[in-house]
Amino acid sequence: MEQKNSINELGLKAIPDLYGKNFFIPDYQRGYRWGTRQVEQLMDDLCRFFDDKGKGEFYCLQPIVVKELTEDEKATYGLHSDTDDNRWYEVIDGQQRLTTIRIILALFKNVQGRFKNKFNIKYKTRPSLGEIFDKFVYDYDKDEYGITVDNEQNLDIDTWHILQAAKCVLAWLKEGEAQGVGLDYFTGIFLQFFTQQRGLEGKKSVQVIWYELRDKSDPNATFKRLNDKKVALNNAELIRAMFLSDSAEFECDESVIDGYPEEVQGIVKEREQARKQSHIVEQWDIIEKQLRQPNFWAFVKDDASDEGYSCRIEYLFDLISKKSKKEKDELYTYLRFDDMVTKHDGVKGLWDLWVKVESDFDTLLSWYQKRDYYHKIGYLIAEKGSSILYDLLEMSTKQTKTRFDKNINWLIKTNMMINVDDDIYTYSYDEDKQKSALSRILFFYNVESTRIAITQDNFPFELYKNESWSLEHIHAQNSERIDRTDKAKWEEWMDLNTEALKRLQTRFGEGHLYDPRPVIQVLGENKEKVRSNTYVFDNFSRCFDSVNDYYNKMALAEGGSPEIHTISNMALLSGSVNASISNSVFEVKRQLIMEKDAGGEYIPYCTRLVFLKYYNKDKEDFSVQQSFYWSENDRKNYQANIEEVLKDVLAAKDPEEEEKKVMEKEENVAKEQEVTND
């Protein structure tokens, strides 16, 4: 046996280079598990490559990583072969591909009859499994595309999977028989190219990447490292290869080659192909760079995360393929792109598909750059996810701008409301469906208020999507909303309210109608007792009421009211902010929200205006008004602004229904005209 150096070998081997070799599959690898999708995809790829239009000299399969076994190892595993000087290779990675190649070679022998070339595989977990390839039973007279093995009903799971893969190849051939991809093709062109030696000028071949470990690497550790850190080709990489591989075939406008002599038209086509691929490379980088802009990504992506997208352009491909979030096939988008091209499903060919990629990206970018679309479409994406983009992208190509704008308003309205005929100002926090609707309404109110306030920057979807959001009572007067068993929460509430009331001491002196000292004293007394066993929720509730009564005195002058559960007493707050101020009176919330806002924490635009009492700015006493409580007038002014901001969207009509009414009216007018003419 020749002596080998210790440098690992990396190279290419054609299928004939594998003939006679002996491969050992260790027990740390799982059994053969290629299913219909993987087998058919391989056959599809090979068929396209073998076609006269396929470019390139060879089709390259993914790597097979091996290490030659020592004499002691061969003796331990009981390995012996009459071929290749009894040299055996432990397969560290690539056994699925290697087994599939062996299945195809076995089918050549059965179908073609004269084919004898093969290599040997021994599986550690099932020593006799490698014999299955020579036990395929093929009966041409009984079933031209059928194959089986003896005792097929009682096969072990690994043998069963290998047999199913063989049947899958034959089923693929049978399905393609009408297009000339049948048994004659399999034993003709396919056999010729699949078993072609490499390096023959002008001849196609199939090759594998051969990586042989010759150092002292531990095979088991290498296997774990390869599989733990392996980054499988994602959809974006596969689609990139689809567009940029040598075998890519772009449709060519005949006008481009008209006028050239026939003998140079091929050169012109090749140059046109190279030009298009160069254009794709350039535009691919531009699109990827733009999608990596945080604000743009947060606009087009419902959750602003890049999880699952090492290449963000893949998200654009998912939109085009209309991939569902529930889709489990990791290669769905790539396979959908492949179908679109090969079956001319919605596109004329590969170049037309790329044009669609650019067109959809340009549409998204134009929406991002237009203030109205940025806010309205951004809201819909945040609420409904990528699925709404499927519809919007399609609508934008088929509808006038007027009709498209009406559809956007209608989609927003139907998303906000439970029923389109509802009065949203009667929705209550205490009913789950209405509470959920109130959240959607206030989210849009914040977005729309930002849009129409032209002095404001765009709504920061990137900040909004980094938080979880909930409804909060602007002023809470009900102690029942506080945890009845958590005394730590009671103490926290007491501390916050004591701090807020102490700030008022500088404004209201001793003896003033609104002097807070008596209430501060009540809070202090309760704080001293709260940890005792005799202090219960009823005690805390009375303390709570004492604080609320203090603020209610101020509200009485404007017509105070009990706690309100409708939109006029609701604001959006992040989960973290809400947790720290929930169930507090207005003044406590105002102070904490201003502190967090000053500290750089994101507070929604309208929530900030609520606690600044900005919705009273048109009142004569705006500059001197009380800021310590949320009054009846505050709520009325707040709701009046909500009604003004939402009026156009709430007045939206279903464009389809409007169009039907217009058509019906036109038909009636036409009929009346006919009657008049008669």
- pLDDT over 80 at 11, yes or no: no
- Contact yes or no for 257/265 (Cβ under 8 A): yes
Residue 488 has pLDDT above 80, yes or no: yes
Q: Are residues 148 and 265 in the same domain?
A: no
Residue 582 has pLDDT above 80, yes or no: no
Query: What is the total count of domains within the chain?
Result: 3
Question: How far is the C-alpha of 417 from the C-alpha of 470, rounded, in Å?
Answer: 17
100 and 25 in a common domain: yes
CB of 323 within 8 A of CB of 336?
A: yes
Q: Is 385 inside any structural domain? A: no
Percent of the chain with pLDDT over 90: 45
Question: Do 165 and 267 belong to one domain?
Answer: no
- pLDDT score of 22 more than 90: yes
Does residue 599 fall inside a structural domain?
A: yes
The whole model's pTM is what?
A: 0.65
CA–CA distance, 382 with 317 (Å, rounded to integer): 19
Q: What is the pLDDT of residue 3?
A: 47
SS3 137: strand
Answer yes or no: is 195 within a domain. yes
Instruction: Answer yes or no: do 107 and 167 share one domain.
Output: yes
290 and 203 co-located in one domain: no
Most distant pair of Cα atoms in the chain: their distance: 112
**Once rounded to an integer, what is the mean pLDDT over residues 56-71?**
84
209 in the same domain as 89: yes
Do residues 33 and 158 share a domain?
yes
431 belongs to a structural domain: no
**What 8-state DSSP symbol labels residue 624?**
G
Kindly indicate the confidence band of residue 109, based on its pLDDT and cuts at 50, 70 and 90: very high
Q: pLDDT category, 620, cuts 50, 70, 90?
A: low
Q: Say if residues 192 and 15 touch (Cβ distance below 8 Å).
A: no
* CA 130 – CA 162 distance, rounded (Å): 10
- Residue spans of beta strands (DSSP E) within 50-188: 58-68, 88-93, 120-123, 137-138, 147-148
pLDDT at residue 50 tops 50: yes
Sign of CA dihedral 629, 630, 632, 638: positive
What string of DSSP letters covers 632-674? Answer: HHHHHHHHHHHHHHHHHHHT---HHHHHHHHHHHHHHHHHHHH
Calculate mean pLDDT across residues 561-580: 78
- Quick one: 293 and 220 in the same domain? no
Q: Tell me the C-alpha distance between 483 and 630, whole Å.
A: 23
Instruction: Examine residue 119 and state whether it is found in any structural domain, yes or no.
Output: yes
**pLDDT (tens digit, 9 = 90+) per residue, 166-201?**
999 999 999 999 888 999 999 999 999 999 997 776
Tell me how long the chain is.
678
- Decide which of 263 and 567 is more confident: 567
Q: Is 208 helix (H, G, I), strand (E, B) or coil?
A: strand
Looking at residue 245, what DSSP letter applies? S
The helix/strand/coil state of 469 is strand
What amino acid is encoded at 101 in this protein? I
Asked if residue 235 is part of any domain, the answer here is: no
| Residue where a domain terminates, one of 230, 245, 263 | 230
479 and 364 within one domain: no
* 85 and 177 co-located in one domain: yes
Distance CA 179, CA 466 (A): 53
Domain that holds residue 275: 254-369
Question: In 441-481, which ranges are E strands?
Answer: 469-473
Residue 406 forms part of a structural domain:
no
**pLDDT, greater one: 527 or 113:** 527
Q: Is the pLDDT of residue 497 over 80?
A: yes
441 part of a folded domain: no
Residue 23 pLDDT level (bands cut at 50, 70, 90): very high
Q: Is there a contact between 238 and 334 (Cβ–Cβ < 8 Å)?
A: yes
Last residue of a domain, one of 165, 197, 230: 230
Q: Report residue 253's pLDDT band, with 50, 70 and 90 as the boundaries.
A: confident
Find the range with the poorest average confidence among 91-95, 382-386, 434-438. Answer: 91-95
Please choose, from the candidates 577, 493, 475, the residue with its C-alpha nearest in 3D space to the C-alpha of residue 537. Answer: 493
Strands 58-68 and 205-213 come out as: parallel
Percent of the chain's residues with pLDDT above 70: 88
Which strands sit side by side in the sheet containing 9-14, from one edge to the other?
A: 9-14, 205-213, 58-68, 88-93, 22-25, 120-123
- Among candidate residues 335, 369, 403, the one where a domain is terminated: 369
> What residue type is assigned to position 560 of the chain?
G
Written as one string, the DSSP assignment of 572-613 is: EEEHHHHHHHTT--HHHHHHHHHHHHHTT----HHHHHHHTT
Per-residue confidence (pLDDT) for residue 98, from 0 to 100:
94
Are the beta carbons of 166 and 134 closer than 8 angstroms?
no
Whether residues 173 and 305 share a domain: the answer is no
pLDDT of 383 higher than 60? yes
List, as one string, the DSSP characters of 4-71: --SSPEEEEEEGGGGTT-EEEE-TTS------HHHHHHHHHHHHHHHSTT--SSEEEEEEEEEEEPPH
Same domain for 178 and 36? Answer: yes
Please list the residues that pair with 25 across neighbouring strands. 123
